[in-house]
Amino acid sequence: MGLKEWAEQGATKAAYTGSFQGIVLTPDSITYKREGGPTAGVVATVDTGTDVRRRATATRVLAVGIFALAMKKQVGHVYLTVEGDGYAFMVEVPVKLEADARKFAAKVNTAGKRQT
| Residues contacting residue 42 through CB under 8 Å, at least 6 positions apart | 30, 82, 83, 84, 85, 108, 109, 111, 112, 115
Does the reported pTM lie above 0.85? no
Average pLDDT value over all residues in the chain:
77
Mean pLDDT, range 70-78, rounded to an integer: 61
Distances (CA, A) of 70 to 6, 24, 73, 77, 93: 51, 29, 10, 18, 20
3-115 has CATH 1.10.3470 classification: no
| Count of C-beta atoms within a 10 Å radius of residue 110 | 14
pLDDT at 14 over 60: no
Spatial contact of 90 and 70, defined as CB atoms under 8 Å apart: no
Q: pLDDT class for 4, splitting at 50, 70, 90?
A: low
Instruction: Please tell me the distance from the alpha carbon of residue 2 to that of residue 91, in angstroms, as a whole number.
Output: 41
Look at residues 71, 76, 72 and name the one whose alpha carbon lies nearest to residue 94: 76
Q: pLDDT class for 102, splitting at 50, 70, 90?
A: very high
pLDDT at 17 over 90: no
pLDDT of residue 54: 56
Mean pLDDT, range 88-110, rounded to an integer: 93
